[in-house]
């Protein structure tokens, strides 16, 4: 991941409604949620939610898949993992034991954590 992609993802999450949407989608992995259900649960007007989902999708951290008449949205967990790893790439000067609570599996290969 490069800085431009990381900044886009972080900027997308730096808004309360979008952060709420993303966290709700993370809780509903792997099945995801339809846009209407997201709007209902977060009490956000559908057109406003649509704009927020567009920002999250363009940032690469949310995906949408059409199923019949609905679009099911999901958090892109792989993108989240990539972002977290990018942020903690050189954490603790190579001492994963120091940063494991803050960034589990981000500072070291899984076989050594």
Three-point CA angle 38, 42, 47, nearest 5°:
65
C-alpha span between 91 and 33 (Å, rounded): 34
Q: Rounded mean pLDDT of 67-90?
A: 90
Domain 3-112: CATH class, spelled out: mainly alpha
Statement: residue 86 has pLDDT above 50:
yes
Confidence (pTM):
0.82
Read off the pLDDT of residues 17-68 as tens digits, 9 standing for 90 and up.
999 999 999 999 999 999 999 999 999 999 999 999 999 999 999 999 999 9
């Amino acid at each position: 991941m490069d800085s431009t992609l990381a900044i886009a993802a972080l900027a997308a999450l730096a808004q309360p409604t979008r952060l709420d949407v993303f966290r709700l989608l993370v809780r509903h992995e792997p099945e995801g949620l339809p846009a209407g259900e997201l709007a209902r649960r977060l009490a956000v007007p559908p057109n406003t939610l649509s704009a927020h989902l567009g920002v999250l999708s363009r940032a690469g951290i949310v995906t949408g898949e059409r199923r019949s008449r609905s679009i099911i949205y999901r958090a892109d967990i792989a993108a989240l993992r990539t972002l977290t790893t990018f942020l903690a790439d050189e954490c603790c000067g190579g001492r994963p034991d120091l940063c494991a609570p803050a960034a589990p599996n981000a500072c070291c290969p899984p076989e050594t954590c």
